[in-house]
Amino acid sequence: MLKSLFNWKVLVNLLVAVAVFVGLVWLTFRWLEYHTNHGQEIPVPNVVNKSVQDAVKILEDTGLDYEVDSATYNPKYRPFQVLKMFPSPGSRVKDGRAITLKVNPRSWAPVAVPDVINKYAGLAFQRLDQVGLKVGDTIFEPSIQKDAVLRILFKGQNLAPGTKIPRFSVIDVVVGSGPMRNITIPNVVGLTVKEAKAVIARNLFEVGIVDHEDGGKDESDIVYYQDPAAGDARDQGMQIDLWASKKTPAELRDRIDQLNSTYRMKIDTTLPPIRYEEVPSFQDESVNQTPPPVSPKPVTPKASVQSTTKPVSTTKTIDTKPKTSGSNPDNSAKPTTPAAEKPKGKKVII
């Protein structure tokens, strides 16, 4: 058994097998070096702060591939300017390696316009500011929705909720200022229902009940009656009811008269106008009226005679105090006046 192993033929075959294995391994590594450019590295050129077009051209001339990725917009740099790159400048990479470029976009990333239509203006402005939109002009427009957002404008165009525009864009907001007063109602009798609705909306009114004479909903029917009547003054947003039919107004005269008796108030102008006069209040006059003054009655003075040892003298005393009649009941309400001072009697010697 051992002799057979050390046979020269066996040894030759063994050596040939080892040589073939070593040759295959050597050829494999050589092929890998050639295929992977082993030992051949290229320095990464610096393309930071260059435009993306110039950076791409430099990388292609160097034999490197590239990938462009947008960064967050920075207004301090130019649009499409290379802000960063990976691998960093000066690194050594193999030929064909992809270099990632971070490029400043042309503007801010787009944001969706929030749904703030028919919302209170104060809350709507807060919501727009939260998503990064700036409110420019606030335009007030007559509307029954006072202080509510009616429309959003961007560069003069209406924006629907959900539309994407660049962040920090300046938009205009249309806000309702309240309804207009005393608007003349247009005449829509003789128009089709479709035309009447357009005229009513154009004059800032709302369409109310539409009564079709045949019970259908054909908007080509002719309007033969409206309420309120044309020429009346109403506030913005009031409803206008319509009656429509395929017949002519002449054929519907009885129906029109019936509607007039219901919706039109007739005023009789033959009656004389009502006059209002004030009636004086005699009771108030009797209370507030001052009673006339009462003149005092004259009183005959009485003479008194005194008998003394002296010659007889007569003293005449004149009482000037007025006496009032007790039969007058109004004297109780009259304020009393102080009596005049009684004059002193004079002695007359005869």
> Rounded CA gap, 67 and 103, in Å?
10
Nearest CA to 242 out of 221, 257, 258 is that of 221
Highest-confidence segment of 208-212, 301-305, 308-312, 342-346: 208-212
Strands (E), 48-196: 65-70, 82-86, 92-94, 98-103, 110-112, 134-141, 149-154, 157-158, 164-166, 170-176, 183-184
Q: Of 283 and 27, which is predicted with more confidence?
A: 27
Distance of CA 282 to the CA centre of its chain: 60
> Which has more confidence, 131 or 297?
131
CB 143 within 8 A of CB 177: yes
Q: What is the pLDDT of residue 332?
A: 44
Stretch 79-94: mean pLDDT: 87
Task: Tell me the per-residue pLDDT of 269-314, one tens digit each, with 9 for 90 and over.
Answer: 565 666 666 666 555 555 455 555 555 555 555 544 444 444 444 4
Q: Note the pTM of the prediction, 2 decimals.
A: 0.46
Structure confidence by residue, pLDDT tens digits, 149-175: 999 999 989 999 999 998 888 999 999
Burial of 99 (0-12, 13-18, 19+ CB in 10 A): buried
What is the pLDDT confidence band of residue 333, given thresholds at 50, 70 and 90?
very low
